[in-house]
Chain A
Amino acid sequence: MSDNHVNVGSASVQAIETVDITNKRVGLFVTCLVNTMRPTVGFAALDLLEQAGCNVEVPEHQSCCGQPAFNSGDDEGTRQIAYETIKQFEEFDYVVIPSGSCAGMIIKNFADLFEGQNEWQARAQALADKTYELLSFLVDVCNFVPQGVELEGTYTYHDSCSGYRSLGVYEQPRKMLSEVSGLEHKPLHGHSECCGFGGTFCVKYSDISDAIVEEKIENVLDTKVDYLLGGDMGCLMNMAGKLNREGHTEIKALHTAEVLADMATEILGDGHARK
């Protein structure tokens, strides 16, 4: 497909609100992958939200958005997890998630899970209505413009499917990254084509997933960039893991939040405890 951004299909692009964010409470939903595999993304998100003027809290008793159960067809298991998420986060004015995939789960699927349970469906919908993917929240709601961030090199951007197709995340990360001095964008052929991660798919159908990611990294390598950026840890881990397996250590994969929060010096897979 072409590299021109054509049409995000049926995605509803959130209207730009101008809100005084300073007196709003923002709950940060860290996500499983950030929590365990890449804590810096969580700290980067926290930092960016604070820079944008938000009053951020991280509820201690958070778990998972439920996608591994949901995408396996275990609706009851997913509901059990969703109850906890709703209880933990419904008190906030906004819920922000550094992943289009997990945000999409809450925004697009939570309410449907509680078909026939009026009270919980209403609570799920209310949560969905105030849940945002991090990068689009920073731009669309906070009007955030990164300042004084530097990173020397070129980057290409992979638009993760859920963020791109179901939430309409496309311009926001690019807009913020254009403020990073020294960083130059190179378009990625098939920028919005699936990388083959797909959650449980990549372990269930590892070989199909591998064929898909192999093609993805061919396109990434063609750009000859220094950085591969995205907004979802799942896709980034998949692409970075394949790049490393194939010996392509010259391209560093990073979450966009890490770049914007000036934490890009530590790269994927090089050990990244909070300093």
Chain B
Amino acid sequence: MHANKPENFEQNVSEALSQPNLKAVIRRTTDKAEAKRAEAIANFPGFENARIQGQKVKDHTIKYMAHYLAEFEKNAKAQGAIIHWASNAEEASRKVLEICRKHEAKRITRSKSMLGEEIGLSHALDNADIDRVETDLAEHIIQLAGDPPSHIVWPAMHRSREDVIKLFRENHKDPTYSEEIIELVRSARRDLRTKFLTADIGISGSNFLLADSGSTCTVTNEGNAELTTTPPKVHIVTAGIEKLVPSMAHAVPLLRLLTRSATGGEITQYITFHNGPKRQGDVDGPEEYHIVLVDNGRTKMLSEGMEEMLRCIRCGACMNHCVVYKHIGGHAYGSVYPGPMGSVLTPHLNSLKVANKQTHACTLNGRCEEVCPVKIPLPKLLRSLRAKSWEKKYEPLTNRFFVKGFAFIAKHPALFQLFSSCGVIFMRMFSKKGWIRSMPMTSGWTRNRDLIEPGTQTFMQQYKKMKKAQK
């Protein structure tokens, strides 16, 4: 499938809503995620405290970002890491490619990383004719299908088991003819195993960067990250600078929040701390260890009053609980990051001009903020982006005209009451048996639902009459 563009949001939405199975496919995952998260939180009485603690850790680190980045760099270098800084996506990808070229890498293995997607690393590697092997099972599926990810935790959630069976049969060297999930997993494992061992470079992301030790931490369930980062001679970590935490002790409450909010698990199968290249006496591990630290709009967000968004630990709970995401799915957003968090991030990674429609595709119902493990006020941030986009006049002219007209009338209460009275008369001209099925200028409403017939007069008109009669 082709990758949707954020500027075509409305068209993407129409396409998504017309896909007959999409909603069911999304629900299969999000319903389970919602239920499992609720259960995990019910069994974790310290959840609310952990949220407060997690928020404080993030806010503190973000506030002293420069200090902790310097500390991280110093300590990572002391462990033997080679540190690279990238201010934007293009630079980050280029730095990774330079390392690949230096080592004449023909095959690289990659463990799932949203930052890798954000900086366009897949395309960069493909364009450089490097054999890119996605080792996360879901990423493996979407690589075979040629799809972009549709969720930040379950990137292949839009694909059905039937799709996977077909993809594996067509692409695996020694495919299974069973339709059992366990056999499908084995088929993927057979295919990936030789690649793990023959890769020149392994590329991973990072869930936490620990400033006091210079360690990078990956949180995974499949063990593929360990097989990606250990056998090859070179290991490259790409990480956003907001992943910083002061120390291991600070990462712990965030870990507790992350796993419960993402999958409802108390912990993942693997939590690995990477501490530099292979040392003397180590039996395995990379000989060279690179960390590419990526800004890509993050410091700009800090300077534009969006620092709360930098708390995000990429758990996906906001999208699992979002009524809009659950109906349109991840691809419609046209961005690496979909759902509420994506609608706040994308304007900063791309541009507000291109991605302002997504900020409006939200009912501001507050469910995302309610479930966010680090209490990001997503509705407030989305609305503040609407205000920015209003200031910059990115809204369609007709919207601006209606809103401005409305505001003008509403700021003159007498005029507002007059308009309301006339509106009632106008609307009643179109009503039949208590309902309006269609009427000029209300197609947005009446396309999908009926409109109740207004009262014969406004409340104010009737109230004034009543008061007069009482006198």
Interchain CA distance A215-B324 in the complex, whole Å: 12
B60 to chain A, nearest CB (A): 20
A66 touches B410 (CB 8 A): yes
B411 touches A83 (CB 8 A): yes
B420 touches A32 (CB 8 A): yes
- Complex interface bits, A50-77 against B, C-beta within 8 A gives 1, otherwise 0: 0000000010111110101111111101
A64 touches B449 (CB 8 A): no
| Interface residue? A141 (CB, 8 A) | no
Interchain CA distance A266-B122 in the complex, whole Å: 61
Given A61-B414, A73-B386, 10 further pairs, Cβ under 8 A: A35-B458, A35-B460, A68-B403, A72-B386, A74-B387, A161-B366, A198-B362, A212-B324, A212-B363, A242-B450
For residue B364, which residues in chain A have a CB less than 8 angstroms away from its CB? 71, 161, 198-199, 201
For residue A81, which residues in chain B have a CB less than 8 angstroms away from its CB? 407, 410-411
| Interface residue? B85 (CB, 8 A) | no
Interchain CA distance A272-B410 in the complex, whole Å: 25
- Complex A-B: 13 CB contacts under 8 Å: A30-B460, A36-B455, A61-B413, A64-B416, A70-B383, A72-B403, A75-B387, A165-B367, A198-B362, A202-B363, A203-B442, A240-B452, A242-B448
Given known A42-B459, A165-B366, A241-B452, contact A35–B420 (CB-CB < 8 A): yes
Of the residues B13, B390, B423, B449, contact of A242 by C-beta under 8 Å = B449
A222 to chain B, nearest CB (A): 16
Give the nearest-CB partner of A76 in chain B: B407
B395 touches A73 (CB 8 A): yes
B375 to chain A, nearest CB (A): 7
A198 touches B383 (CB 8 A): no
Interface stretch of the complex, out of A2-10, A127-135, A142-150, A179-187: A2-10
- Complex interface bits, B410-452 against A, C-beta within 8 A gives 1, otherwise 0: 1111101100100110010000001100000011110111111
Interchain CA distance A212-B387 in the complex, whole Å: 25
- Complex interface bits, B386-416 against A, C-beta within 8 A gives 1, otherwise 0: 1111110001000100011011111111101
Of the residues B328, B383, B391, B408, contact of A71 by C-beta under 8 Å = B383
Instruction: Tell me the A200-246 residues at the B interface (CB within 8 Å).
Output: 200-213, 215, 237-238, 240-242, 244-245
**A interface list, Cβ under 8 A from B:** 1-2, 6, 9-10, 30, 32, 34-40, 42-43, 46, 58, 60-64, 66, 68-75, 77-78, 80-81, 83-84, 88, 161-162, 165-166, 193-194, 196-213, 215, 237-238, 240-242, 244-245, 268-274
**B interface list, Cβ under 8 A from A:** 13-14, 17, 23, 34, 38, 42, 323-324, 327-328, 360-367, 369-370, 375, 383, 385-391, 395, 399, 403-404, 406-414, 416-417, 420, 423-424, 427, 434-435, 442-445, 447-460, 462-464, 466
B362 to chain A, nearest CB (A): 7
Interchain CA distance A270-B370 in the complex, whole Å: 37
A120 to chain B, nearest CB (A): 14
Given known A161-B367, A241-B450, contact A203–B410 (CB-CB < 8 A): no
- Interface residues of A: mostly helix, strand, loop or mixed? helix
Interchain CA distance A60-B458 in the complex, whole Å: 12
Interchain CA distance A73-B395 in the complex, whole Å: 10
For residue B411, which residues in chain A have a CB less than 8 angstroms away from its CB? 63, 77, 80-81, 83-84
A88 touches B413 (CB 8 A): yes
Give the nearest-CB partner of A62 in chain B: B413
Of the residues A36, A166, A215, contact of B366 by C-beta under 8 Å = A166
Interchain CA distance A123-B367 in the complex, whole Å: 30
Given known A63-B416, A68-B406, A194-B367, contact A244–B449 (CB-CB < 8 A): yes
Give the nearest-CB partner of A59 in chain B: B413
A69 touches B363 (CB 8 A): no
Of the residues B365, B404, B447, B454, contact of A74 by C-beta under 8 Å = B404
Lowest 10 A-B CB distances belong to which pairs? A198-B363, A203-B444, A77-B407, A73-B386, A73-B390, A241-B449, A210-B448, A161-B365, A194-B365, A9-B370
A1 to chain B, nearest CB (A): 6
Given known A1-B38, A84-B411, A240-B452, contact A205–B361 (CB-CB < 8 A): yes
Given known A9-B369, A165-B366, contact A2–B38 (CB-CB < 8 A): yes
